[in-house]
Amino acid sequence: MTTCANLEKLSVKEAMKAEHIGKKVKLNGWVRTRRDSKAGFSFFELNDGSSMKSVQVLAPNDLSNYESELLHAGIGCSIEVEGEIVESPGKGQATEVKATCVNVLGGCDPASYPLQKKGTSFEFLRTIAHLRPRTNSFGAVARVRNEICKSIHNFFQERGFIYVHTPIITGSDCEGAGQMFKVTTLDLNKPPLKEGTKSGEINFEEDFFGKATNLTVSGQLSGECYATALTNIYTFGPTFRAENSNTSRHLAEFWMVEPEMSFCNLEGNMEVAEAFLKHIFRDVLNNCEDDMKFFAERIDKTVLDTLTHIVNSDFVRLSYTEAVDKLLKSGQKFEFPVEWGIDLQSEHERYLTEQVFKKPVIVYDYPRGIKAFYMKLNEDEKTVRAMDVLVPGVGEIIGGSQREERLEVLETRMKESGLNPEEYWWYLDLRRYGTVPHAGFGLGLERTVQFVTGMANIRDVIPFPRTPKSAEF
Ligand code: ATP
Ligand code: MN
């Protein structure tokens, strides 16, 4: 270790800009490769995650630790570099760094380091999720995911929506449809039982919260409480579903954005959803150029064209009944046969977006029997004011609806869904006191990242995926 001069620090991303040529700076990062030239110096490719590209560091052999340290420093080592940013003679980069001091901060044994230079499969990288952010692909996913989150907040903040934090532990089941993770401090080996019950039902009155609780599947019901006071709100946080579906589009823990808008109907809801997605795609196209170029070259050739096309065209709007009609008339053989009343399967959704329209499709007015109790009943009494936004490759990316604001209808729909209205007394109060037409939707963050990047598996767009039988790291 030698002592460097402690110059002004720059990120690798900054150091690659021509405007800094001539500056003497300090850089930190991890070595991607080292190459030794016969002319008496070594080249380090240095990356610190601030950009897809690595900066080239030229280390002359007259550095005091050149032979003792630098000639042993390779892939995975962390180093500090001081030197001058100079114009690069090489193609494809504006600058390089002529080092005056290089220190190895953390060594890395290349023989045992799991990340080798050669391309490794995404399956393998899932087994080393703690190291995969050091690869080009996962660095790019992390930066694009970050850009999408920034864009989500900007979109709503620019429009005056209030960011509301809804609880993660809930005592209510939003969808009325199981598949929740229980939250309990009871001793699972010896749970307290209700007195006088034959089958030995668990007595949750003795549990931490004095009732059975779960991890949230959606912040919507809490969101509605705030929307019916603050008009336009959104929640954005982790969501949990214990659905045992091992697909490339489902996680047990994922992030969801849920705007909720008072004085808004289904049309208004669709308009916001479309503007919202376009806003996100535009931001990614404008601000993640290098990362998106990487995805277009390495993952999915079509991503850039698809996003550009979507930003500049209108989404298709199609009622469920029309969608079923299109599917029936398609002559296509589906694994799940189509008839009015079925829930659209991924294969149907993808057929509509990929074969028929080749762009996002908003399907609305679904049969009441397959949708949640809180969706507004249409006059036909057969359908509800639901909408799903479907995109090519991914299928459903947004699910939303206009909410039922009429107390009696809502109570009837609850009972129909096997829910006890008394347990939802606070939710029904929103209809008792100053009820208003309102609407909202949920956008899955990971499905958005998948769509934007073209990554095939949802496990590869969240840092540490939680899926059935898998919660390592
Ligand atoms: P799907 O039919 O695809 O399972 P859903 O109808 O259960 O979705 P909603 O309850 O409407 O979905 O949730 C809103 C959004 O949250 C979805 O459009 C999707 O983007 C996302 N989402 C839902 N479930 C998951 C999951 N298990 N993993 C990742 N994202 C999800
Ligand atoms: Mn689902």
Name the closest ligand to CA 390. Answer: 1
Question: pLDDT category, 117, cuts 50, 70, 90?
Answer: low
Taking Cα atoms as reference points, which of 218, 210, 232 lies closest to residue 166?
Answer: 218
Among 148-152, 292-296, 469-473, the minimum mean pLDDT is found in: 469-473
What's the chain's average pLDDT? 95
Q: How far is CA 369 from CA 170, 266, 382, in A?
A: 25, 19, 8
411 inside domain: yes
Confidence at 175, pLDDT banded by 50, 70, 90: low
CA of 306 to the centre of ligand 1 (A): 22
- Could you tell me if residue 180 is inside a domain? no
Identify whether residues 53 and 149 lie together within a single domain.
no
Q: Token pair of 163, please? A: 């960011």
Residues 141 and 16 in one domain: no
283 or 417, higher pLDDT: 283
Tell me, using a 6 A CB cutoff, whether residue 374 lines ligand 1: no
Give residue 33 CA to ligand 1 midpoint distance, Å.
41
Whether the per-residue pLDDT at 177 is higher than 60: the answer is no
Total tally of structural domains belonging to the chain: 2
Q: Are residues 384 and 278 in the same domain?
A: yes
By most ligand atoms within 8 Å of CB, the mutation choice from 447, 455, 466 for ligand 1 is 447
* Whether residues 20 and 58 fall in one domain: yes
Indicate whether 92 and 144 sit together in one domain.
no
Give the ligand whose atoms come closest to the C-alpha of residue 175: 1
410-418 own/partner pairs: CB under 8 Å, 24+ apart? 410/373, 410/374, 413/368, 413/373, 413/374, 413/377, 414/176, 414/373, 416/373, 417/176, 417/372, 417/373, 418/176
Can you give the pLDDT at residue 252? 96
Q: What is the mean pLDDT of residues 376-382?
A: 97
Alpha-carbon distance values, 119 to 34, 92, 122, 362 (Å): 17, 22, 9, 38
What CATH number does residue 33 fall under?
2.40.50.140
Strands 182-183 and 213-215, bridge-based pairing: antiparallel
Q: What's the gap in Å between 257 CA and the centre of ligand 1?
A: 11
Residues 6+ apart with CB under 8 A from 126: 132, 459, 460, 465
219 CB near ligand 1 (under 6 Å) = no
The pLDDT assigned to 2 comes to 81
pLDDT of residue 250: 95
241 CB under 6 A from ligand 1?
yes
The predicted pLDDT at position 178 comes to: 56
459 lines ligand 1 (CB under 6 A): no
Claim to verify: residue 18 and residue 157 sit in the same structural domain: no
Distance, in Å, from the CA atom of 115 to the CA atom of 388, rounded to the nearest integer, reads: 40
The token pair that represents 101 in the structure block: 């001091």
Of the bound ligands, which one is closest to the alpha carbon of residue 395? Answer: 1
Residue 195 maps to a domain: no
Q: State if residue 259 touches ligand 1 by the CB under 6 angstroms criterion.
A: no
153 and 44, same domain (yes or no): no
Verify that 16 and 55 share a domain, yes or no. yes
Map residue 9 onto helix, strand or coil. strand
pLDDT digits (tens, 9 = 90+) for 179-209: 899 999 999 999 999 887 777 889 999 999 9
Mean pLDDT for the stretch of residues 166-184: 80
The answer to whether the beta carbons of residues 192 and 203 sit under 8 Å apart is: yes
Q: Is the pLDDT reported for residue 176 higher than 70?
A: no
CB 398 within 8 A of CB 392: no
Nearest to 144 by CA among 352, 452, 432: 452
Angle at the Cα of 158 from the Cα atoms of 156 and 163, rounded to 5 degrees: 40
Residue 432 falls within a domain, yes or no? yes
CATH number (domain holding residue 148): 3.30.930.10
The distance in angstroms from the start CA to the end CA of the chain is: 33
Domain residue limits at 45? 8-106
User: In sequence order, what are the beta bridge partners of 384?
Assistant: 366, 377
What pLDDT, in 10s, does the model give residues 44-85? 999 999 999 999 999 999 999 999 999 999 999 999 999 999
Structure tokens, 41: 């110096």
The residue-averaged pLDDT of 427-441 equals 98
Instruction: For residue 92, name the pLDDT band (cuts at 50, 70, 90).
Output: confident
Q: Is there an atom of ligand 1 within 6 Å of 251 CB?
A: yes
pLDDT average, residue stretch 317-331: 96
Decide if 235 is inside a domain: no
Pair 357, 432 in one domain: yes
Residue length of the chain? 473
Does 77 share its domain with 157?
Answer: no
Provide the whole-model pTM: 0.96
**158/99 Cα distance (integer angstroms):** 44
pLDDT in tens, 220-275: 999 999 999 999 999 999 999 998 888 999 999 999 999 999 999 999 999 999 99
pLDDT of the residue at 164? 98
Query: Does residue 250's CB lie within 6 angstroms of at least one atom of ligand 1?
Result: yes
pLDDT greater than 70 at residue 173: no
Neighbour tally for 457: CB within 10 Å: 14
Same domain, 30 and 150: no
**Ligand nearest to the CA of residue 396, numbered in listed order:** 1
Dist. CA 302 → ligand 1 center (Å): 24
DSSP β-bridge partners for residue 253: 240
- 471: confidence class by pLDDT, cuts 50, 70, 90: very high
Ligand 2 center to residue 179 CA distance, Å? 9
Measured in Å, residue 103 CA sits from the centre of ligand 2 at: 51
User: Do 46 and 151 reside in the same domain of the chain?
Assistant: no
